Structure 1
Amino acid sequence: MTAQTVSLRLGERPVAEYAWQPRLPETVSPRPFLHPVRTLGGTEVTESMPADHLHHLGVSVAVADVGGANFWGGRTFVPGRGPVHLPNHGTQRHHRWTTRDASSVHHELRWIGPAGTDLVRERRRIAALPVNDRAWALDFGFELTNVTGEPLAFASPATNGRPGAGYGGFFWRARRGDRRIHVLGPDRTGERRLHGQRTAWLALSGADTDPWTLIFVPGQADLWFVRSRDYAGVGSALAWDQPLVVGSGSALRRRIITVVADGRLRSREVAGIAGEVAALHDGWPP
């Protein structure tokens, strides 16, 4: 896989690579993504194109059904048939930079359907922010504008009939390796108790020789899509049980800040950091 990339840095330390013009197979729904993302200590906390899900691309914005176009990658869930390979994959294409510096990128993208027509124009901002000597934060905001002449539905396999599969939106495929993955929330723990729930924050941690913790702090109250057993991943779902319909010329906006920390942090530490980060969620653009 060859891609054009830019590096995000905090001081002299590279913390993430952003592939902004990736050359990818059509079946993974080509799109810009972050990989690898690293802790300050250098531990990688993302996976890209793993064998179990080739269309999981580190950190990206991916939606399984945008007006019938697949911007997630892989198979499409069809009622009565299940997951099916269809020639319906879209592409997110870099349009132009609006800002680029050592710690942040702002750019505009075009979401192009399989017929070659623009469905969505996106404004995206990604920034690396210092937190403390053990952690930094990835601030990821995006605005999706419907550029078709009619209402546009953002949907998911769940809205199309597959229970619990409400994924689509911001998605982080975490690096698992041989680690046991722990899932934490403000008042509960575990994938089963947090999948499909709405909380002020959610955290993943990997316990191994190089432990790490990711703390996801959303700007909007979307439900969480969580996986920790077959693979490690967290998404903030746009369409959990019903499509999100955006009118022609209208936009949806989302922002999520993810703290990337060395070590396995306990619930009290996570809650304290999440509270500090939540104060950064003031308005759009971030």
Structure 2
Amino acid sequence: MSFTIDHRLDQSVTVTAAGTELFTYTYSPDTVQLESPKPYLHPLRTLAGDVVSLFRPHDHVWHKGIAWALPHVGEHNFWGGPTYVQKPEDAPGQGSYIQLENNGRANSAPLTELAAGKDSAHIEHRLDWTTQHGELMIQEQRRISARIAGAGAAWALTFDTAMTNVSGASISFGSPTTKGRENAGYGGLFWRGPRSFTGGVIHAPGASGGEELRGTREEWMGFSGQHDETERWSTIVMVDAQDNPLHPPRWFTRNENFACLCPAPFFSEEYDLPQDQTLRLRYAVVIADGMNSREDVARLASWGREALS
């Protein structure tokens, strides 16, 4: 099963395997500043071609498929939209979201690697993270790879980021929870699922269920949802690399209002990155048709660990 690449120069890369466009990676989007412009992966598809991502939903227009998005980087917002703020006079947990002039952006430099072969495809590039006022804060080296998993039963995406602080001062990474909002520690590699996945099943190593699993600390989590029209099920599993800082992470996940998964490294504790130091994080995302039993989901997680090894 060979991989091919379609490169729209200075815009996006589409990776195909076995006749299915598995994903498009838009590395130079035309996103408005309010939504904190950044690269994203959408659409994502199973090997059978079912779409397992959602782009710019009306409830959170800054959600875009899978994206590396951070809501609290110092005083800056690289997530999109308003920022959670708790004022000194607020009671605990009684802050509010306020639209500030702090929506930064992640700009891509030219791609440094773009390769496809029989077994895999790879994309690598540098990104400059700048504030809304144009100040450079972070230089990131990012590598995205895709490969077939489980002898053709699924496919695995790996995401590798190395973020270097070039701001001239220490930077703290946090979340709305570190700013006072309970159990809202989102930020990191964030997946937003299709509308029809609302009400789907969230999986963790020890349980399957719903939003009671939000905030738990696990090596991996998964989500199974059902598609409109075809009535087929698909499953996505995200795995945190064992060498990641703060491993295993707490997870931000939802299935009631919408479907999402996010291994959130800064869920409930801030991470300080000194000047000139680098933070590296790695993840695997395994995408399958069906495979929504607990045994199947655990198998997908094992394939994700293999992809990271």
Q: Smaller-chain TM-score range?
A: over 0.9
Runs of 4+ displaced beyond 3 Å: none
Per the alignment, residue 238 of structure 2 pairs with 216
Per the alignment, residue 166 of structure 2 pairs with 147
Per the alignment, residue 7 of structure 1 pairs with 14
User: How high is the TM-score relative to the length of structure 2?
Assistant: 0.87
Contact 2:113–2:125 (Cα < 8 Å) also in 1: yes
Per the alignment, residue 76 of structure 1 pairs with 83
Per the alignment, residue 113 of structure 2 pairs with 99
CA–CA distance in 2 between the matches of 1:97 and 1:276? Answer: 28
Per the alignment, residue 89 of structure 1 pairs with 103
Q: Secondary structure at the match of 2:81?
A: coil
Provide, for residues 39-96 of structure 1, a one-character-per-residue CA deviation record: whole Å limited to 9, x for no partner.
0111000011001110101111000011111100011011035101111100000013
Pairwise CA distance, 1:268:
0.8
User: How high is the TM-score relative to the length of structure 1?
Assistant: 0.93
Q: Does residue 258 of structure 2 align to residue 258 of structure 1? A: no
Contact 1:154–1:238 (Cα < 8 Å) also in 2: no
- Matched ranges for 1:140-179 at <5 A: 140-177=159-196
Contact 2:156–2:287 (Cα < 8 Å) also in 1: yes
CA–CA distance in 2 between the matches of 1:263 and 1:101? Answer: 29
Contact 1:176–1:206 (Cα < 8 Å) also in 2: no
CA–CA distance in 2 between the matches of 1:225 and 1:235? Answer: 5
CA–CA distance in 2 between the matches of 1:168 and 1:101? Answer: 29
Pairwise CA distance, 1:178:
6.2
- Higher strand content, 1 or 2: 1
Per the alignment, residue 137 of structure 1 pairs with 156
Pairwise CA distance, 1:4:
2.0
CA–CA distance in 2 between the matches of 1:65 and 1:200? Answer: 23
Per the alignment, residue 240 of structure 1 pairs with 267
Provide, for residues 88-147 of structure 1, a one-character-per-residue CA deviation record: whole Å limited to 9, x for no partner.
100000013110123221111000011211101111111111013331111111111111
Per the alignment, residue 128 of structure 1 pairs with 146
Do the aligned partners of residues 11 and 104 (structure 1) sit closer, same or farther apart at CA in structure 2, a change above 3 Å counting?
Answer: farther
What amino acid is the match of 1:118? L
Q: Does residue 31 of structure 2 align to residue 24 of structure 1? A: yes
Contact 2:67–2:191 (Cα < 8 Å) also in 1: yes
Provide the aligned length of Structure 1 versus Structure 2. Answer: 280
Pairwise CA distance, 1:29:
0.3
CA–CA distance in 1 between the matches of 2:226 and 2:267? Answer: 30
What amino acid is the match of 1:203? G
Per the alignment, residue 62 of structure 1 pairs with 69
Provide, for residues 138-179 of structure 1, a one-character-per-residue CA deviation record: whole Å limited to 9, x for no partner.
111111111111110111111111111111111111113265
Contact 1:105–1:126 (Cα < 8 Å) also in 2: yes
What amino acid is the match of 1:100? L
Between the two proteins, what is the percent identity of the paired residues?
A: 33
Tell me how large the CA RMSD over aligned residues is.
1.6
CA–CA distance in 2 between the matches of 1:54 and 1:239? Answer: 22
CA–CA distance in 2 between the matches of 1:19 and 1:115? Answer: 23
Pairwise CA distance, 1:190:
2.2
Q: Does residue 71 of structure 2 align to residue 53 of structure 1? A: no
Pairwise CA distance, 1:23:
0.3
Pairwise CA distance, 1:240:
1.4
Q: Secondary structure at the match of 1:180?
A: coil
Per the alignment, residue 113 of structure 1 pairs with 131
Q: Secondary structure at the match of 1:127?
A: strand
Contact 2:197–2:255 (Cα < 8 Å) also in 1: no
Q: Which runs of 5+ in 1 are unaligned?
A: none
Q: Which runs of 5+ in 2 are unaligned?
A: 1-9, 88-94
